Amino acid sequence: MMKILSPGSVLISMVMVIAAAFPAWSEQTRADRREQARALTRMGIIRANSGELNKSVKLFNQSLAVSKDYARAYLNRGKVFLIKGRLKKALRDLNKAVKLDSRSVDAHVARGMALGRHKDYEAAVKDFAAALRLDPRNTQALFKRAAIFLSFGRIKQALDDLDRVIRINPRMITAIGNRAYLLEQTGRYTAAIADLKRVLALAPRNLNAMKHLGYTYRQKGEPDSALAWYQEALKRESDKAGRKKLNREIAELKTTSEKKFSKRN
């Protein structure tokens, strides 16, 4: 008995025949879909960079509807979910991005950041290490891994990574400032002061560096230098609470100096 095919089966059979007869046409269709996915993803990135996160997610969704295995769309949607604090969704997308393109440095770095927020520090370190195997001079991977090392008390490794960042990019203020903080925390005040002055050479109005210099000089036992930097910071501080704190530090230093002067005389 002849088997009667359903309309759906007939349609599928016809498509398969056409694809077999015209392989170049089928390949071109796939190429067109991928190009459409790329265009949608580029638009999504533009939206994300301008702060339109929800619109960017819609564009990445459209990109994946056109080409479901487009790693770059998963990567960028995952980054947006990470910004939005949707950690589970971010990790799901970033896992997919790494699976589709295991040589993507950006995917490993982004997943490392997500894992760090998830407090899965060891897994985060592995992702940053994977990124650095692919690109040993990737300052973002080094900088983020330093933060992870700091999260679980591996100060030496954090300093090593920050040293590498600064060798690669000597003008990266955040790395220099973070290294200064770690040096001060470990009692290496002279080196910390050198880094903070380096920050000010690059950004003369950096208020945090001025405050940190005041604090570091005070910890080092040089109250006059500490007072000078706190007073300089006070000139630039506009926040009411910040001014109050600086005035308190200045008053304490002046009181200490006056007591020492009285004892000498």
What pLDDT is attached to residue 17?
47
Shared domain for 144 and 216, answered yes or no, is: no
Q: State the residue for tokens 């007591």.
A: 259
Last residue of a domain, one of 92, 125, 152: 152
Both structure tokens of 123? 């897994």
Shared domain for 148 and 234, answered yes or no, is: no
Side-chain-side CA neighbours of 134 within 13 Å: the count stands at 15
CA-angle at 54, arms to 174 and 138, nearest 5°: 30
pLDDT tens series, the chain, 265 aa: 444 444 444 444 544 544 555 555 455 588 888 899 999 999 999 999 999 999 999 999 999 999 999 999 999 999 999 999 999 999 999 999 999 999 999 999 999 999 999 999 999 999 999 999 999 999 999 999 999 999 889 999 999 999 999 999 999 999 999 999 999 999 999 999 999 999 999 999 999 999 999 999 999 999 999 999 999 999 999 999 999 999 999 999 988 765 564 455 4
What pLDDT is attached to residue 26?
54
What pLDDT is attached to residue 31?
85
For residue 113, what is the domain's CATH number?
1.25.40.10
How far are the Cα atoms of 110, 242, 256 from residue 208, in angstroms, in the given order?
A: 28, 11, 24
Shared domain for 81 and 146, answered yes or no, is: yes
Is the entire prediction scored with pTM above 0.85? Answer: no
What pLDDT is attached to residue 18?
46
What pLDDT is attached to residue 110?
98
261 in any annotated domain: yes
234 in any annotated domain: yes
Residue 68 near residue 87, CB atoms below 8 Å: no
1 in any annotated domain: no
Encode 171-183: b = buried (16+ Cβ within 10 Å), e = exposed: ebbebbbbbbbbb
Last residue of a domain, one of 134, 152, 170: 152
Shared domain for 65 and 137, answered yes or no, is: yes
How far are the Cα atoms of 145, 185, 214, 224 from residue 219, in angstroms, in the given order?
A: 28, 10, 9, 12
135 in any annotated domain: yes
Tell me how far apart the alpha carbons of residues 254 and 242 are, in angstroms, rounded to a whole number.
18
74 in any annotated domain: yes
| Domains in the chain, number | 2
33 in any annotated domain: no
What pLDDT is attached to residue 15?
45
What pLDDT is attached to residue 254?
87
Domain housing 218 = 198-265
